[in-house]
C-alpha cells in the first residue's frame, strides 16, 4: 500500500508517518519509484503498536524506540524479555539515594525475596516500589513494606493469568513479545482506570446519602 | 520554624520551597520580620504532599494545584471528592472523537452500568478505559469491553478495602481527603510496579529453563 493508505488505516496523518520513518520507529517500505514506497501489513501493525505506546502508554519517543528494540531483538531469552521491555517502559527514577531511600530499597528487596519473586536487581519497578514506600514514610506514615502485601497478592494472581494467556495465544516469538508489551501498557492503563472508577463508586456508596453508607458513615 | 528548617525536614532545597510558595502550592508562613516568616507543622505536611504528588505521581504543577484545591475545599460533598481529585489527577485525553472512539465510550458506559458502578459521566478514568479498548481494537484484537472484567473484579475488591480503610482512620475532613489523594497516587504507583514485577517473575517461571516452565513452554 502507499503511505497515504498506511496513514489512513493506522489513523495517523502522513507527516506523522514520515516522522516515524525518519525516527526509525517504522522500517522503510520497499522502494517502487523515486519518492515512492510500498508498505505491507507488518508496517500497519507496527504503526498501530507505536501509536498505542505513545498515546495509551504515554511513553516518550526514546522509550518507544527501546521497547521496539526489545520486540525485534530475536536473541534475548524469552524469560528476560519482560524485564527488558519493562526497563524500557521506565519509569526512570533518578532521585538522590539518601538514607531513607536506601533503607526503603533494602526493605523492598527483602519483601520481594520473602515472596520468592525472581526479578532483576535493577528492575525499574523495584525502584518505583521503594519510592512509593519512601513517599508514605515521608508523609508521616509509620509503615513497613508489608503495607503492599494485599496489592502484591492481587498483582501476582493477575500476572500469573496474564503470562499464561500470552503463552496460550501461540504465534511467533515476535507475536509473543508484542503481546507482552501491549499487555503491560494497555492493560496497565485499564487497571489504573478501573481502580479509580471503583474508588469513586465505593466512595459514593460510603459517603453519599445512600442507604448502604448510613451504617458506615463517620463524622465529616 | 524557619524556611531553612522546613526545607531540610521536607527534603526540598530552599529555592524550591520558595518556588512552591510563589506558585501557591504552599500557603505563606506567618511574617516575623521583614523577609522572614515562621512555618508550622502543617506547612511541612503540605510540602511533603506536594513532593509526593510531583515525584511519585509525576503530576504536572497545574494538576498538583487542582488536587490541593480538592483537598482544601471544604464544601464539596465527601462522596464527590474522589471524583474531583481523580479529575485533577488526569489523564487528559484530548484525542479526536472519531467513530471507533465514540463506539468504545458507549461500550465502556454499558460495561460500567452493568456492574452498577456509579461514576461521573465525565470521569477521566472512563475516557482512559475507553482509550485502552480503542487501542486494543486498533491493534487488531477482536475484543469487547468484557476483556476488562477480570481487572474490574480485582479493582473493585481493592477499592472497597481502600475506601473502608480510609474511613476507619478517622481524623478531620482534610485528613480524609489527603488520605484519598495519597492512596490514589502512591498505591497506584505501587500496584503498577508490583504487577510488572509479578509479570517478570511469572514470565521467568514459564519461559526460563526451570522445572515449572517445562510443562507450560511453547515453541519459541
CA-angle at A17, arms to A14 and A18, nearest 5°: 90
**How large a percentage of chain B has pLDDT more than 90?**
33
- The model's confidence at residue B92, banded by pLDDT at 50, 70 and 90, is low
Q: Would an 8 Å CB–CB cutoff place B92 in contact with chain A?
A: no
Q: Which helix (H) or strand (E) holds B37?
A: strand B36-38
- The model's confidence at residue B94, banded by pLDDT at 50, 70 and 90, is low
Contacts of A210 (CB under 8 A, 6+ apart): A204
Q: Are B65 and B24 in contact (CB under 8 A)?
A: yes
- The model's confidence at residue B213, banded by pLDDT at 50, 70 and 90, is very low
Q: What is the pLDDT of residues A78-131, one digit of tens each?
A: 777 777 777 777 665 555 668 888 999 999 999 999 999 988 888 889 988 998
Report pLDDT for A217. 41
Q: What is the pLDDT of residues A28-47, one digit of tens each?
A: 999 998 888 999 988 998 89
Q: What is the ipTM of this complex?
A: 0.78
Contacts of B199 (CB under 8 A, 6+ apart): A82, A86, A159, A162, A163, A180, A184
Report pLDDT for A91. 62
Kindly list the residues from chain B whose CB atom is less than 8 angstroms away from the CB atom of residue A95: 55
Kindly list the residues from chain A whose CB atom is less than 8 angstroms away from the CB atom of residue B192: 125, 128, 188, 191-192
Q: Which of residues 25-44 of A touch B (CB under 8 A)?
A: none
Q: Would an 8 Å CB–CB cutoff place B110 in contact with chain A?
A: no
Nearest residue in chain B measured CA to CA from A136:
B186
**Cross-chain Cβ contact B117/A201 below 8 Å:** yes
- The model's confidence at residue A153, banded by pLDDT at 50, 70 and 90, is very high
Report pLDDT for B73. 78
CA distance B2 to A199: 39
Contacts of A95 (CB under 8 A, 6+ apart): A101, A131, B55
Pick the residue of A52, A119, A168, A201 with the most B CBs within 10 A to test the interface with B by mutation: A201
Q: What is the pLDDT of residues A97-109, one digit of tens each?
A: 688 889 999 999 9
Whether the per-residue pLDDT at B4 is higher than 80: the answer is yes
The x, y and z cell numbers of residue B61, run together, are 504543577
Contacts of B197 (CB under 8 A, 6+ apart): A112, A117, A119, A123, A125, A126, A129, A155
Nearest to B194 by CA among A70, A77, A160, A193: A160
Contacts of B191 (CB under 8 A, 6+ apart): A151, A154, A155, A191, A192, A195, B158
Report pLDDT for B106. 95
Whether the per-residue pLDDT at B181 is higher than 60: the answer is yes
Pick the residue of A190, A213, A214 with the most B CBs within 10 A to test the interface with B by mutation: A190
Whether the per-residue pLDDT at A23 is higher than 50: the answer is yes
Q: How many CA atoms does the CB half-sphere of B69 hold within 13 Å?
A: 13
Q: Enter the DSSP assignment of B74.
A: S
Q: Enter the DSSP assignment of B90.
A: -
- Alpha helix stretches (DSSP H) within B11-60: 14-23, 41-55
Q: Which of residues 1-20 of A touch B (CB under 8 A)?
A: 10-11
Amino acid at each position: 500500500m502507499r503511505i497515504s493508505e498506511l496513514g489512513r488505516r493506522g489513523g495517523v496523518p502522513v507527516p506523522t508517518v514520515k516522522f516515524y520513518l525518519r525516527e526509525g520507529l517504522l522500517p522503510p517500505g520497499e522502494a517502487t519509484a523515486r519518492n515512492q514506497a510500498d508498505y505491507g501489513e507488518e508496517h500497519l501493525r507496527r504503526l498501530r503498536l507505536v501509536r498505542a505506546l505513545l498515546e495509551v502508554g504515554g511513553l516518550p519517543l526514546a522509550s518507544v524506540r527501546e521497547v521496539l528494540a526489545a520486540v525485534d531483538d530475536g536473541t534475548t531469552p524469552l524469560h528476560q524479555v519482560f524485564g527488558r521491555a519493562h526497563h524500557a517502559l521506565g519509569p526512570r527514577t533518578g532521585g538522590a539515594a539518601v538514607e531513607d531511600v536506601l533503607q526503603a530499597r533494602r526493605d523492598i528487596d527483602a519483601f520481594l525475596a520473602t515472596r520468592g519473586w525472581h526479578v532483576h536487581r535493577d528492575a525499574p519497578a523495584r525502584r518505583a516500589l521503594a519510592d512509593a514506600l519512601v513517599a508514605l514514610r515521608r508523609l508521616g506514615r509509620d509503615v513497613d513494606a508489608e503495607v503492599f502485601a494485599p496489592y502484591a497478592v492481587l498483582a501476582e494472581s493477575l500476572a500469573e493469568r496474564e503470562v499464561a494467556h500470552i503463552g496460550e495465544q501461540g504465534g511467533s516469538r515476535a507475536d509473543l513479545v508484542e503481546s507482552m508489551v501491549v499487555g503491560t501498557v494497555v492493560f496497565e492503563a485499564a487497571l489504573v482506570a478501573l481502580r479509580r472508577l471503583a474508588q469513586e463508586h465505593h466512595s459514593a456508596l460510603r459517603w453519599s446519602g445512600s442507604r448502604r453508607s448510613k451504617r458506615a458513615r463517620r463524622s465529616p
